[in-house]
Structure 1
Amino acid sequence: MSPSSRADRRGGTAPGKTASRNLSVKLVEVPLNPLAPNAITDLLPIGTIEIRVARWEATRVPAAGTVVLCTGRGEFIEKYAEVASELLARGFAVVAFDWRGQGGSSRLVRDGRKGHVSDFDEFQADLDAIRSAVLEPHCPRPWFALAHSMGGAIAIAHAAGDRCMFDRIVLSTPMVEIYGLAAPRAIRAMASTASRLGLGRLYVPGGSSRSVMMKPFEHNVLTSDPKRYAAFSALVSAAPELAIGAPTQGWLNAAFRYMAEFHDVDFPRRILTPMLVVACGADSVVATRGIERFATRLKNASLIVVPHARHEVLMEQDHFRAQFWAAFDGFVPGSSSVTPPAIAS
């Protein structure tokens, strides 16, 4: 596979820095989280790093198109096994990948448990490479994005660029504003100062190498569904190398810079791609009100809020997920309402 020239320009780590390698092309399967069969996996080179990619060909002819899964911070392909199966059942081809710095892709710092990136624009190189090396040669059009949290922020920035590859974008609790920060300006100044002083690779205060998916279910903020949470914990237990811990000061600084762009008055005017924006009423990771404000400023967007659902609506209880899929089926052309059974309890 040959990534685009733009990806080559953006694809390396900073001069004098060495990315650690945590590469694993093989997908991990556990009984609680079965994978759709016939996945085609690869490691895609982008400059000095590689990202892990999986794709599934559509099971129907003609295909309804291709859905690209853009995961959130700290996530990896296997976590979206159920979602991939549901998209295949709807007639789509599916592409999933691990962002640089997480999952089975190259890490950007020596301690691979740190969630680090110095500039979110680096993630756009990952999307460019997916387009040129995966979508264009292998995947039927139209192309759609299903993007969650951090992946949603990256998809938003991509849509505001010159050449959006997607015909439509579905955003699941996009990271446009972080929830519940008591002093956001002070926290942003701290992250910025740490980065300028060369301390950007330190964990955020209180952060550790422990994955959020290894917390006791009662203390998690991601989902109220115990069986799906148990599946994710089982994945991390089976393949701890796929997980990362807390973000670094550099990641936080880069995230604040990225989100600041979204609040510019002129930013939404640059987005012409139709969007479905899904927020969750009980989200305590990203700010639902911030998502609502952003969505109302977009030219061509629909907004729904799923009451009482936590941050990861795609990993939530079935009655929450049903609301998401009803909105998805109504928004994405060609989507069938036929879904496979929910995962076993």
Structure 2
Amino acid sequence: MIEQSQIPEDETLVEKRNQQFIEPFWQRNVINGYFLGKQKVRIAYAYVINPNPIGSIAISSGRIETLLKYKELVFNLYHAGFSVFIHDHRGQGLSGRMLDDPEKGYVADFADYVADFKLFFDQVISPNSVHKPILLSHSMGAAISSLYLLTHPGDFAKCIMSAPMFGIRPALPKWLSCLLIESYTLLNHVFGKSPWYFIGQSKYNPKAFAINELTHCQQRYKIFRDTYEANPQCKLGGVTTAWLKQADKTMSFIQKNAAAITIPVLLLQAGDDRVVNNAKQTQVAAKMLNCELMRIENASHEIFFETEDIRDQSLRAILRFLA
């Protein structure tokens, strides 16, 4: 855990804003609920309706994330004039898990994520939106969003992708990664009754801030980890071989079909990303017909949870893009 005394003085404003404005806003204005996704998995969601909206934004979050982590971004977008919608993907956050061990990162097929998202769109987002919604996504959520846009091309007007998961680091040669995944899948099938963690993966184990790969902002990292301690049902460990196999399949599909995504896309690339493969992002962006790639120097993977200057740069870029 990070002690408050260790937080740089200029970052303490983040916690003050969180306590004085963001938490009260969330409790007062945000509506929470559940719906049954594909195969009756319980999917958690939250949304807030702006009384005078200039648009609607749906957020597709990254792996291990929860809607509770996005309170600050929802607050920012609401005060920029938008109604905002977010749900927790199956197998993480406040949503239902499919395995006996709730900390294993698992999905049977990325198409299940898309099926859940479509139900959320039809049941919650569309009925509460005056304007055609905008899609904002991060990391794994951007891979899911890309699949969604390829499957349901008419639902969203524009899309923002933050550090999209079009390739995972460290980037092994394709033949080697496929060999490892297939070999471990076979072993799992022969000797295991349920999906195994992939090599090197384990249960939820929060890293110390000094060695984290997600953000340079110590205070936002502390809030993120404290949120999971306060809501232990949100904790998620590493990925299973089954999840990784589906992720690899999905990333390959996106790389081959990116040209079919025709709506305007803003791709925010984190210059200091050590989680996903920026070279793959650049390749996919070049294939999209209407994509603006903006590289944010010195940003770690979680751009929306970065330091004030980086976060401000990204939010200003989003608002320009939406205007």
2:221 equivalent to 1:229: yes
2:285 equivalent to 1:288: no
**What percent of counterpart residues are identical?**
27
Deviation track 1:144-196 (CA, whole Å, cap 9, x = no partner) reads: 11100000011111112244411000000000011223444323322234335
Segments of 5+ residues of structure 1 without an aligned counterpart are 1-29, 334-345
Map of 2:29 onto structure 1? 38
**1:44 deviation in Å?**
0.5
Distance 2:134 2:19 in 1: 29
2:210 equivalent to 1:218: yes
Structure 2 counterpart of 1:254, from 246, 249, 254: 246
The code of the aligned residue for 2:255 comes to: H
**1:263 deviation in Å?**
2.3
Map of 2:200 onto structure 1? 206
Residues 161 and 270 in structure 1, CA contact (< 8 A), matched pair in contact too: no
Structure 2 counterpart of 1:108, from 77, 98, 109: 98
Distance 2:76 2:144 in 1: 23
Distance 1:129 1:159 in 2: 14
Distance 2:179 2:108 in 1: 15
**1:138 deviation in Å?**
2.1
**1:129 deviation in Å?**
0.7
Deviation track 1:86-137 (CA, whole Å, cap 9, x = no partner) reads: 0000110010110000011110111001110121111111111111110122
**Structure 2 residue matching 1:166: 3-state secondary structure:** coil
Distance 2:112 2:68 in 1: 23
Deviation track 1:197-245 (CA, whole Å, cap 9, x = no partner) reads: 525710011211114xx21000100000000000011111111111100
**Structure 1 residue matching 2:47: 3-state secondary structure:** strand
**1:275 deviation in Å?**
0.5
Map of 2:89 onto structure 1? 99
Q: 1:139 to 1:192 in 2, by over 3 A?
A: farther
**What aligned pairs does 1:170-181 form with structure 2 within 5 A after superposition?**
170-181=160-171
Residues 105 and 240 in structure 2, CA contact (< 8 A), matched pair in contact too: yes
**Structure 2 residue matching 1:278: 3-state secondary structure:** strand
Q: 1:204 to 1:164 in 2, by over 3 A?
A: farther
The code of the aligned residue for 2:201 comes to: G
- Which structure has greater helix proportion? 2
**What aligned pairs does 1:46-195 form with structure 2 within 5 A after superposition?**
46=37, 47-58=39-50, 60-61=51-52, 63-195=53-185
**Structure 2 residue matching 1:286: 3-state secondary structure:** coil
**Structure 2 residue matching 1:228: 3-state secondary structure:** helix
The two structures, once aligned, show a CA RMSD in angstroms of 1.7
Distance 1:85 1:247 in 2: 30
Distance 1:201 1:31 in 2: 40
Distance 2:207 2:142 in 1: 24
Task: Count how many residue pairs are aligned between Structure 1 and Structure 2.
Answer: 298
**1:139 deviation in Å?**
2.6
Distance 2:152 2:142 in 1: 18
**1:31 deviation in Å?**
4.5
**1:73 deviation in Å?**
0.3
Distance 1:280 1:268 in 2: 20
The code of the aligned residue for 1:217 comes to: F
**1:271 deviation in Å?**
1.1
The code of the aligned residue for 2:200 comes to: G
Residues 64 and 142 in structure 1, CA contact (< 8 A), matched pair in contact too: no
Residues 282 and 307 in structure 1, CA contact (< 8 A), matched pair in contact too: yes
**Structure 2 residue matching 1:263: 3-state secondary structure:** helix
Structure 2 counterpart of 1:244, from 228, 232, 236: 236
Normalising by structure 1, report the TM-score.
0.82
Distance 1:327 1:108 in 2: 37
Residues 93 and 140 in structure 1, CA contact (< 8 A), matched pair in contact too: no
**What aligned pairs does 1:13-28 form with structure 2 within 5 A after superposition?**
none
**Structure 2 residue matching 1:305: 3-state secondary structure:** strand
The code of the aligned residue for 1:141 comes to: H
Normalising by structure 2, report the TM-score.
0.88
Map of 1:17 onto structure 2? none
Residues 274 and 301 in structure 1, CA contact (< 8 A), matched pair in contact too: yes
Residues 132 and 155 in structure 2, CA contact (< 8 A), matched pair in contact too: no
Segments of 5+ residues of structure 2 without an aligned counterpart are 1-17
Distance 1:69 1:223 in 2: 19
